């Protein structure tokens, strides 16, 4: 078993709003191994992005990390000072955001934005920095990099902007890269290109990738392990193949059943109900109000994350008694 | 139909980079080039720009005309004019001459009961108009950018405290308070001029006090505008992205957010210049200004008692104030249209 780059234990990030305390992330634990691509799946509002922002410690106000441990290469990030954190951001952990159209500063050229990042952390001459910029843009497959780097973000298409954003995230060769739904705002064909690019770069640079998405297709394509989140808690952690083959948590099964498939003739199953209000979340297992297998115990006790097989963890009281495999296959 | 393509510079034929040198020379149209193209089409804006340029050239005219003896030299030591403030001007020695020949080729705008030439005084005063306009705007903008940036960027209690302070300045009738404070502070001034050490320039003491008082009572509304802009830009993803790349607050505020609101700042600054000129003229006209420095408002004040006779001493400086306020307002509106095209719709 290879060592882990990032280890999150019992992370709790709450938002202290006027309406009440939103328990956006409530006791999440998982780890990212060196060189792997881990998927973080869940509905909107399940705490995927907040988890990533928590690791970088840039949770926007009124959010606050209240508990937990985030170990990065053995150091607890929550014990670092703001100054130490600033040095880690970008150079060791980087993030790519969802919306490429607004993640670049519109008033600067691509060149100066990338140079900015490079020269802030490294001591390079003007020519060296320029060469590095061209090299980075070529790495992410931007055609005609030497000319186009002098253009402004509005002169680029969405896919090209996302490539530039990726180049900026990679500028300092981070060991861990978060990709926060990097393809949701792109065309399907461009999506595939960007995903392929990320996968290639991950291999080339030997970094770990944490892919945040709600798209099961992306998960199947580029991740090796998956963490399923629901309402701020972990439901299931498994290898991607195992998860698709035999989901053990009812929520995972429901998620997979909600993906349209061409090879099976069946109607899409929608998960009834909505994601719960996280100011007053349901007691016990947070999924129990929407779960068709829920028993009395589910509303009373929070299920612990149990190891049920190699690399397979599930947080469900009923996992032994329900067989989701047949369910899925028969539709 | 496709005008936006030209405007955004997208439609320009792209030169293929054949060697390294050429690719460095090709720069894409920046937003400033685009804005200038848009500004050029705006007739009132261009008129305003020309008027402003004339105003800025006035010190050159002053120097030239003085050299050529077309205008009288600047008023001498104000002590020479003490009789003016002791009431003796009621029996001016030259009143009869005045009616014989109030206007002449060299005294185009007429002379006054105390024998001064209106045009000469106006030309000498023009530089102080710019001094007031620009210095007030500089101080106002520095104050309001600091306050607005802190309030808008950090939000929370900082925002609350700073904006309540700004509102205190906004709700009081500012002209009244400006008059009170100008009077209090000008009473304490000994010398008519302050010498700025290193660069050896004399600045008019009383007028500078007027400038500071106006600026202190004027930053509130601008700070609110800048706070609003910061609140808007702060939510863009690139701010979060910069933070995730290790940028600190100072860098995000000054290097990433401020350039994004530069166009608004330029527009507001231009309008603030016009406002400052107007307020200073009002302060001087009401008799609270710096009596040691000749400004347009000061000329109005000096001749107000005789306005029915020497109407020209009121009309022409008044028109000059109108001219400059108009100039900066036209320019400001033109810039606002050119830099924020969305506002037009």
| A12 within a domain of the structure (yes/no) | no
pLDDT band for position B91 (cuts 50, 70, 90) = very low
DSSP tag of A275: P
* Rounded Cα gap, residues A155 and B79, in angstroms: 64
Q: Is A298 helix (H, G, I), strand (E, B) or coil?
A: helix
Provide the residue range defining the domain that includes A172: 90-223
- Chain A partners within 8 Å of B31 (Cβ): 107, 152
From A87, A104, A151, residue closest to B238, measured CB to CB: A104
Radius of gyration of chain B (CA): 25
Radius of gyration of chain A (CA): 21
**Between B164 and B6, whose confidence is greater?**
B164
| A244 within a domain of the structure (yes/no) | no
In this prediction the ipTM stands at 0.82
Contact B243 A89 (CB under 8 A): yes
From A89, A108, A152, residue closest to B245, measured CB to CB: A89
| A187 within a domain of the structure (yes/no) | yes
**Is A108 within 8 Å of chain B by CB?**
yes
- Chain A partners within 8 Å of B236 (Cβ): 102
- Chain B partners within 8 Å of A108 (Cβ): 259
- Identify which of B202, B330, B323 has the alpha carbon closest to the alpha carbon of residue B271: B330
| A161 within a domain of the structure (yes/no) | yes
Are the beta carbons of B245 and B167 closer than 8 angstroms?
A: no
Per-residue pLDDT of chain A (331 residues; tens, 9 = 90+): 468 889 999 999 999 988 889 998 988 999 999 889 999 998 888 888 899 999 999 888 888 899 899 999 888 888 888 888 888 888 899 999 888 888 898 888 899 899 988 888 778 888 888 888 998 898 888 888 888 888 888 888 888 888 899 889 888 888 999 998 888 877 888 888 888 888 888 888 889 999 998 888 888 888 899 999 998 899 999 999 888 888 888 888 888 887 777 776 667 777 877 778 888 888 888 888 888 888 888 888 888 888 888 889 988 888 877 776 655 544 4
Contact A58 B8 (CB under 8 A): no
| A202 within a domain of the structure (yes/no) | yes
Residues 125-184 of A with CB under 8 A from B: 144, 146-147, 150-152, 154-155, 165, 168-169
* Rounded Cα gap, residues A87 and A285, in angstroms: 39
From A56, A147, A168, residue closest to B26, measured CB to CB: A147
Question: Would you say the C-alpha torsion A3, A6, A305, A328 has a positive or negative sign?
Answer: negative
Are the beta carbons of B144 and B152 closer than 8 angstroms?
A: no
* Rounded Cα gap, residues B243 and B229, in angstroms: 19
| A123 within a domain of the structure (yes/no) | yes
* Rounded Cα gap, residues B270 and A316, in angstroms: 65
- Residue B30's pLDDT is what? 67
Contact B8 A91 (CB under 8 A): no
Give the CATH number for residue A120.
3.40.50.300
Contact B246 A60 (CB under 8 A): no
Q: Count structural domains, chain A.
A: 1
- Number of other residues whose CB lies within 10 A of the CB of residue A272: 10
| A237 within a domain of the structure (yes/no) | no
Q: Is A82 helix (H, G, I), strand (E, B) or coil?
A: helix
DSSP labels, A84-133? HHHHHBTTTEEEE-S-TTTSS-TTS-HHHHHHHHHHHHS---HHHHHHHH
- The residue of chain A with its CA nearest to that of B257 is A105
Interface test with A, best of B246, B255, B340 (most A CBs within 10 A): B246
Please name each of the domains of chain B with its CATH number.
45-75+114-344 (1.10.3720.10)
* Rounded Cα gap, residues A141 and B255, in angstroms: 28
Helices (H), chain A: 48-56, 82-88, 110-121, 126-139, 145-148, 158-170, 188-205, 216-222, 240-245, 250-257, 324-330
Are the beta carbons of A215 and A180 closer than 8 angstroms?
A: no
Helices A158-170/A110-121 angle, 10° precision = 10
Contact B241 A120 (CB under 8 A): no
The predicted-structure confidence for B202-245, as pLDDT tens digits, reads as follows: 888 889 999 999 999 999 999 999 999 999 999 888 998 998 88
| A/B interface, count of CB pairs below 8 Å | 81
**What Å distances lie between residue B176 and A50, B173, B213, B282, CA to CA?**
52, 6, 11, 11
**pLDDT mean across residues, chain A:** 86
* Rounded Cα gap, residues B95 and B306, in angstroms: 11
Contact B17 A109 (CB under 8 A): no
Q: 3-state secondary structure string, chain B?
A: CCHHHHHCCCCCCCCCCCCHHHHHHCCCCCHHHHHHHHHHCCHHHHHHHHHHHHHHHHHHHHHHHHHCCCCCCCCCCHHHHHHHHCCHHHCCCCHHHHHHCCCCCCCCCCECCCCCEHHHHHHHHHHHHHHHHHHHHHHHHHHHHHHHHHHHHHCHHHHHHHHHHHHHHHHCCHHHHHHHHHHHHHHCCCCCEEEECCCCEEEEHHHHHHHHHHHHCCHHHHHHHHHHHHHHHHCCHHHHHHHHCCCCHHHHHHHHHHHHHHHHHHHHHHHHHHHHHHHHHHHHHCCCCCCCCCCHHHHHHHHHHHCCCCCHHHHHHHHHHHHHHHHHHHHHHHHHHHHCHHHHC
Report CA B323 to chain centroid distance, whole Å: 13
| A144 within a domain of the structure (yes/no) | yes
* Rounded Cα gap, residues A235 and A231, in angstroms: 9
Contact A87 B246 (CB under 8 A): yes
From B10, B17, B31, residue closest to A107, measured CB to CB: B31
Contact A154 B8 (CB under 8 A): yes
- Cis status, amide bond into B272, omega within 30 of 0: no
**What Å distances lie between residue B329 and B272, B275, B276, CA to CA?**
9, 9, 12
């Amino acid at each position: 078993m290879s060592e882990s780059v990032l280890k999150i234990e019992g992370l709790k990030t709450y938002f202290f709003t006027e309406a009440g305390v939103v328990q956006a992330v409530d006791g999440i634990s998982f780890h990212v191994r060196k060189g792997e691509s881990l998927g973080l799946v869940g509905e909107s509002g399940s705490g995927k992005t907040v988890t990533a922002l928590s690791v970088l410690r840039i949770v926007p106000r009124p959010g606050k990390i209240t508990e937990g441990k985030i170990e990065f290469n053995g150091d607890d990030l929550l014990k670092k000072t703001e100054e130490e954190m600033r040095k880690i951001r970008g150079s060791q952990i980087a993030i790519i955001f969802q919306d490429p159209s607004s993640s670049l500063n519109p008033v600067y050229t691509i060149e100066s934005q990338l140079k900015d990042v490079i020269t802030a952390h490294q001591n390079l001459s003007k020519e060296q920095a320029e060469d590095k910029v061209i090299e980075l843009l070529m790495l992410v497959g931007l055609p005609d990099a030497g000319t186009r780097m002098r253009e402004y973000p509005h002169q680029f298409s969405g896919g090209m902007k996302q490539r530039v954003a990726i180049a900026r995230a990679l500028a300092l060769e981070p060991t861990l890269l978060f990709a926060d739904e990097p393809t949701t705002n792109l065309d399907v064909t461009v999506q595939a290109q960007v995903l392929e690019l990320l996968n290639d770069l991950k291999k080339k640079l030997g970094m770990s990738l944490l892919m945040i998405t709600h798209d099961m297709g992306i998960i199947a394509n580029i991740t090796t392990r998956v963490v399923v989140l629901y309402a701020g808690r972990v439901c299931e952690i498994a290898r991607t193949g195992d998860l698709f083959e035999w989901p053990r948590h009812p929520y995972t099964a429901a998620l997979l059943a909600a993906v349209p498939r061409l090879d099976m003739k069946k109607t899409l199953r929608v998960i009834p109900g909505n994601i719960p209000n996280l100011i007053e979340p349901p007691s016990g297992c947070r999924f129990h109000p929407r779960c068709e297998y829920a028993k009395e115990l589910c509303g009373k006790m929070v299920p612990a994350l149990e190891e049920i097989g190699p690399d397979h963890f599930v947080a469900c009281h009923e996992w032994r008694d329900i067989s989701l495999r047949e369910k899925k296959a028969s539709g | 139909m496709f005008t936006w393509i030209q405007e955004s510079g997208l439609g320009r034929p792209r030169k293929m980079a054949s060697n390294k040198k050429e690719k460095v020379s090709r720069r894409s149209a920046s937003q400033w080039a685009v804005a200038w193209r848009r500004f050029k089409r705006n007739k009132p804006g261009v008129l305003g720009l020309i008027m402003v340029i004339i105003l800025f050239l006035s010190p050159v005219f002053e120097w030239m005309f003085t050299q050529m003896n077309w205008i009288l030299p600047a008023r001498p030591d104000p002590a020479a004019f003490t009789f003016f403030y002791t009431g003796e001007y009621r029996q001016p020695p030259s009143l009869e001459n005045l009616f014989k020949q109030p206007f002449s080729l060299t005294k185009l705008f007429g002379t006054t009961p105390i024998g001064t030439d209106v045009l000469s005084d106006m030309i000498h005063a023009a530089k102080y108009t710019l001094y007031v306009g620009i210095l007030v705007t500089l101080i106002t903008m520095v104050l309001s950018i600091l306050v607005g940036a802190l309030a808008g960027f950090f939000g929370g209690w900082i925002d609350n405290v700073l904006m309540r302070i700004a509102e205190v300045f906004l709700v009081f009738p500012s002209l009244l308070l400006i008059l009170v404070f100008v009077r209090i502070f000008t009473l304490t001034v000994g010398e008519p001029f302050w010498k700025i050490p290193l660069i050896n320039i004399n600045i008019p003491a009383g007028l500078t006090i007027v400038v500071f008082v106006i600026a202190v009572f004027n930053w509130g509304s601008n700070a609110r505008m800048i706070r609003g802009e910061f609140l808007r830009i702060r939510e863009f993803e690139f701010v979060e992205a910069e933070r995730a790349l290790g940028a600190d607050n100072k860098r995000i505020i000054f290097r990433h957010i401020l350039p994004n609101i530069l166009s608004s700042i330029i527009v507001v600054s231009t309008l603030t210049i016009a406002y400052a000129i107007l307020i200073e003229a009002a302060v001087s006209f009401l008799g609270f200004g710096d009596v040691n420095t000749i400004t347009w408002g000061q000329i109005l004040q000096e001749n107000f008692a005789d306005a029915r006779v020497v109407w020209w001493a009121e009309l022409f400086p008044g028109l000059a104030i109108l001219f400059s306020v108009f100039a900066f307002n036209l320019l400001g509106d033109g810039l606002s249209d050119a830099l924020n095209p969305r506002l037009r719709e």
